[in-house]
Amino acid sequence: MSPAARLRGLKPDWISDPRVWRTEVLAGLVVALALIPEAISFSIIAGVDPAIGLFASFTMAVVISVVGGRRAMISAATGAVALVIAPLNQEHGLGHLIAAVILAGVFQVALGALGVAKLMRFIPRSVMVGFVNALAILIFMAQVPELHDVPWAVYPLLAGGLALLVFFPKVTTVVPAPLVSIVVLTVVTVAAGVAVPTVGEKGELPSSLPVPGLPDVPFTFDTLTTIAPYAFAMALVGLMESLMTAKLVDDITDTRSDKTRESIGQGVANIVTGFFGGMGGCAMIGQTMINVKVSGARTRLSTFLAGVFLMVLCVVFGPVVSDIPMAALVAVMVMVSFATFDWHSTAPGTLRRMPAGEIGVMAVTVVAVVATHNLAIGVVVGSLTAMVVFARRVAHLAEVTAVTDPDGTTVVYRVTGELFFASSNDLVGRFDYAGDPAKVVVDLSAAHVWDASSVAALDAIETKYAQRGKTVEITGLNAPSADLHGRLTGALTGGH
C-alpha cells in the first residue's frame, strides 16, 4: 500500500464522506439541544448553579471524544453522579465538590489501568436486558413531571412532536427527525405566542466559557479524607454506567470498543472537568441513544460537536435556545424511551421460552434500578441475583451413583458434575458409611473440583469412613482437580 493510500485509511470517515459529515454534525446539534435541560436538572439535584452542570457537559463531551474508547458515545453531567456528590456539596460546599470530581477522575484512571473493564464479562445477558429496559423506564418517568400541571397547549405540542418523530423519517432521513421536531415546535410556539414551559425556565444559561483553575479547598489530609469516599463512589458509579453504555452501543452498532481506554478516558475527562469547575459526569445513556440510534451517528465527531454546540448554543444563541418549548424535548425523550426498551424481551413467546431464573434476574434488575434511580445499583443487584440463581442451578448438577462389586468387598461411587461450594455441601450425605463394605472407591473422572469447599467435603467423606475402619480411594481426578486436591487435602481440618 502506498503512503498516500495509508494516509487516506487513517482519515476519519467524516472527512472523506460528506454524507457522514452531515449526519455527525446534525446529530451533535440534536444532542446538544437535548443536553441543556438535562444538565440544568442535574445541577439542581447536585445543588449547584446550572452553569456548573453545563460546563461539565461541555468539557466531558469534548475530552471524551478524543480520549474515550467508544466512538459516538456521549458523556456529560449525569443524575447518578449528581446524587453521589450532592451530600458533599451540601455539607462542605462547591470547592470540596470540585476537588472530589478531580480525585474521582484519578481513581478512574487507576481502576482503568488495573483492568476493571474486564469485569464486564461477568455481567449476564439477563442483567443487560434488565438494565436497558430499566433505562427506558427511567427516561420515560423523567418526562412525566414535565406533563403535570402544565397549560393545555403542551399536550397537542407533544402529540405533534411525536407525529413528526414517527412520520418525518418516512419522508427523508437527510435531516434528523428530532431536529425537525424541535425547530417546528419552537417556531409554532413563538409565532403563535403560546405560553408553555420553555428551556429558559429551567435555569439561566451561561454567558461565557469556563476558565481553568484549582478548587478552593485547603490542600490538607483532612480534605482528602473528606472527599475520598464520595470520589470513590463517583468513580465506581461513573465507570459502571459508562461501561454498560459502551457495551450497549457495541451491540447496536455491531462494533467493538476499547473498554480499558474508555475507563481511563472517563477519568481524564473528569480530571479536566474538575479543573474547569464542572460537576463531573459519565456516559449519558439517553443522549447516547439519541446520537447513535435515533440520529445514526457513528464517529467521534458527533460527540465532540455535541459539547461544542452546547456552549455555542448557551453563549451565543442563549435567547433563542431559551424559547425552545420543553414539550419538544419531552417528545424526543419519549421516542428515545420507546426505541430503547427491548420489547422482544417481554413478548409472551419469549417469556414462555426463557428459564424462570433468567426472567427473575431481569425483573430484579429493573425493579432495583427503578426503585433507586441508580443504574449502577441495579446492575450490582441483578448480577448478584444471577450468581445465586446460577449457583442453585449448578448445585443440582452433581450426581452420585453407587455400584457394588459382585463379591461384596468394594463399592464404587461415581460422581458426575461440578463440585464447588454449593454442590459439595450435599455431597457428604450421599454415601452409606455404615452399610458400605471395607473398601470404597470415589470415581471423579466425570467431575471437576473447583474450590476448597469441595476438597473439605472429600476429606470429610474419608474421615467418616476411617472412623468405621474403612478405606477410601479417590480416583479419576483431572490435572487441575488433582493439583488443588493435592495441595489442600488434610490441611483444611487438621487431617483426616
So what's the pLDDT on residue 396? Answer: 64
- Tell me: pLDDT of 10 over 70: no
Provide the strand spans (E) within 397-438: 399-404, 410-419
pLDDT at 98: 96
- The pLDDT score that the predictor gives to residue 395 is 62
pLDDT for residue 397: 65
Grid-cell match 464486564, residue found: 120
For 119-154, what is each residue's pLDDT tens digit?
Answer: 877 788 888 889 888 888 888 888 888 888 999 999
Note the pLDDT tens digit of each residue in 81-96: 888 888 899 999 999 9
Q: CB of 306 within 8 A of CB of 28? A: yes
Between CA 443 and CA 74 the distance in angstroms is 56
- Write down the pLDDT at residue 161: 93
Distance, in Å, from the CA atom of 331 to the CA atom of 147, rounded to the nearest integer, reads: 11
pTM: 0.75
Cβ 326 vs Cβ 37: under 8 Å: yes
Question: Residue 389: what pLDDT?
Answer: 85
The pLDDT of residue 159: 96
What is the model's pLDDT at position 376? 76
Distance, CA of 361 to CA of 272 (rounded, Å): 38
* Each residue's pLDDT tens digit, 242-284: 998 998 899 889 999 999 999 999 999 999 999 999 999 999 9
What pLDDT does residue 88 have?
Answer: 93
pLDDT of residue 7: 44
Q: What is the mean pLDDT of residues 310-315?
A: 93
Q: Can you tell me the distance from the alpha carbon of 48 to that of 92, in angstroms, rounded to the nearest whole number?
A: 12
**Is 357 in contact with 61 (CB distance < 8 Å)?**
no
C-beta of residue 275 within 8 angstroms of C-beta of residue 59: no
- Residue 2, pLDDT > 80, answer no
What is the CA 314 to chain-centroid distance, rounded?
Answer: 29
Sign of the torsion angle spanned by Cα atoms 485, 491, 493, 496: positive
Segment 105-131 shows an average pLDDT of 89
Residue 70 backbone phi and psi in degrees, to 5 = -125, 110
Please state the separation of Cα 38 from the chain's center in Å.
Answer: 19
pLDDT for the residue 493: 61
Block residue for cell numbers 483426616: 496
Q: What is the pLDDT of residues 458-475, one digit of tens each?
A: 998 898 999 989 999 999
Length of the chain: 496
Among the residue ranges 211-215, 327-331, 487-491, the one predicted with the least confidence is 487-491
Residue 46's pLDDT band (cuts 50, 70, 90)? confident
C-alpha neighbours within 13 Å on the C-beta side of residue 104: 34
The answer to whether the beta carbons of residues 192 and 184 sit under 8 Å apart is no
Confidence (pLDDT) at 9: 46
Gyration radius of the chain over CA positions: 29
Which pLDDT score is estimated for 16? 62
| Contact present, 464 and 434 (Cβ < 8 Å) | no
Distance CA 471, CA 450 (A): 24
Comparison of pLDDT for 390 and 458, the residue scoring more: 458
Three-state DSSP class for residue 414: strand
Q: What is the mean pLDDT of the chain?
A: 88
The mean pLDDT value for 2-14 works out to: 51
Give pLDDT, residue 80. Answer: 79
Q: Report the range of poorest mean pLDDT among 197-206, 299-308, 418-427, 448-457.
A: 418-427
**How far is residue 332 CA from its own chain's centroid?**
22
Per-residue confidence (pLDDT) for residue 232, from 0 to 100: 92
What's phi and psi for 72, nearest 5 deg? Answer: 75, 5
Whether pLDDT at 1 is above 70: no
Q: Is pLDDT above 90 for 108?
A: yes
Share of the chain above pLDDT 70, in %: 95
Asked whether residue 8 carries a pLDDT value surpassing 90, the answer given is: no
* Interacting residues of 488 by C-beta distance below 8 A, sequence separation 6+: 452, 455, 456
